[in-house]
A = this chain, B = another copy of it.
Amino acid sequence: MSTTDRAARLALAHLVEPGSRELGLLVRRESAPEALTMALHGVGVGEPLAGAVQARLDAAGLGPRTGSADAWTAHVADTLAAAMTQRAGELGARIVTAADDEWPAALDDLTRVSRDGDALRRDTDPPLCLWLRGPVRLDEVLERSVSVVGARAVTGYGQFVASEFAFGLAERGWTVVSGGALGVDVTAHRGALAAGGVTCAVLACGIDQVYPVSNSAVFERIAEEGLLITEWPPGTRPHRTRFLTRNRVIAAATRGTVMVEAGSRSGARNTLSYARRLERSAMVVPGPVTSAMSVGCHVELRTPGTVLVTRVEEIVEEVGHVGELAEPIHGEERPEDVLDATQARVLDAVAPRAVRTAEEIAAVAGVAGRDARRSLPVLEQHGFVVSADGGYRLAPRTRP
């Protein structure tokens, strides 16, 4: 009796909290079924991992072990996989693994992060599988996607920005990914939905959990038009540490992360930090320096590798293809823009009402008489000055 890759992954997803680097390395080096066998029998894995698996087995009423090692692995895998597949069906959800076409390859970049020193302290390996609810294909909608994240305690300013950015991104065909939380997250989801776009909520709990409850209507709309996504099996409650683990998926799944508002301790900064370590675009919206909800934004903006964004166009320029450049901000054009340096200086020296000769104007401007005599007719042509009584004065409309 052999265990399939899919059943082994589903079983491991049930038995081990997501992101375990130890387990991920084992799956990649051996295989998912072999890794499951090793974890179940405590062979070639650390005691904390083996113990954690045992605790979940016991809680699931599986065990103690019966039969051969392989048979036991197959039994556990089949039992858990069957239960999860059935539950997914009941919930209108599907389960995808790295073996499925729909799997987004971008998530595999998380294997790189899991190798850097800092990340050893946190669980950063790619998910083993994902539960999805929604009518669109995950790999396709993530092709052009941006995450928009930020504080729960959003201000009116943050709400405006999150809503405008999400709306504008969705309008341009970008998928807006966020975490389904109160504040910036739900505002971003709503903004994308308002534009008729696709939005994905990456949850830190089972796909059957509605957290926070006040977002339940939004979650239903997301499930109808976008995607609810999670790596935790149904029944799993959201925990503080799970939000941090989940954040790596938001960062890895998208081409870049935009942080809208964040206090100094905001979890959104954790997502942004993953984006930076994954070499995704780490974008931050500034705010008033007087706002506690922008303190985290400004600390990040003082960190190298962070891009300040103020408009949807600037986000698209960061994450889009070559050539999707933001139109530079020109400001209002002024009539004087057409003048060269000498002409501008001469114009400055023309008085509003008193008529001055070209020579007087030259002396005030600090230019040669000839340069004044050359510039004044040009200034008259452009309507800046008028000639009168052998001299010049400002044209009425030029007067300050």
Tell me the A residues contacting B by CB distance below 8 Å. Answer: 16-17, 47-52, 54-56, 58-59, 121-122, 157, 160-161, 237, 239-242, 263-265, 285-290, 294-296, 298-299, 301-302, 307-308, 310-311, 314, 329-332, 334, 336, 341-342, 344-345, 348-349, 359-360, 362-372
Question: Considering the chains assembled together, what is the distance between the CA atoms of A298 and B307 in angstroms?
Answer: 11
Q: Output the residue of A329, A332, A359 with the most chain B CB within 10 A.
A: A329
Contact B369–A51 (Cβ < 8 Å): yes
Q: List 8 A-B contacts (CB under 8 A).
A: A59-B360, A59-B363, A161-B289, A239-B349, A241-B348, A287-B287, A302-B307, A302-B308
Min CB gap A394→B, angstroms: 13
Contact B369–A54 (Cβ < 8 Å): yes
- Using known A-B contacts A54-B368, A344-B240, determine if residue A157 contacts B288 with beta carbons closer than 8 Å: yes
**Could you say which residues of chain B place their CB within 8 Å of the CB of A359?**
55, 58-59
Choose among B48, B240, B298, B369 the residue that contacts A310 (Cβ–Cβ < 8 A): B298
Contact B265–A367 (Cβ < 8 Å): no
**Could you say which residues of chain B place their CB within 8 Å of the CB of A285?**
289
Contact A241–B367 (Cβ < 8 Å): no
Contact A301–B330 (Cβ < 8 Å): no
**Could you say which residues of chain B place their CB within 8 Å of the CB of A341?**
121-122, 241
Contact A310–B289 (Cβ < 8 Å): yes
Choose among B48, B329, B360 the residue that contacts A264 (Cβ–Cβ < 8 A): B329
**Could you say which residues of chain B place their CB within 8 Å of the CB of A16?**
366
Question: Considering the chains assembled together, what is the distance between the CA atoms of A307 and B311 in angstroms?
Answer: 20
| Extra pairs beyond A160-B290, A265-B334, A286-B294 (4, CB < 8 Å) | A52-B371, A157-B290, A285-B289, A296-B331
Contact B367–A52 (Cβ < 8 Å): yes
Question: Considering the chains assembled together, what is the distance between the CA atoms of A225 and B128 in angstroms?
Answer: 70
Contact B121–A368 (Cβ < 8 Å): no
Q: Output the residue of A332, A345, A366 with the most chain B CB within 10 A.
A: A366
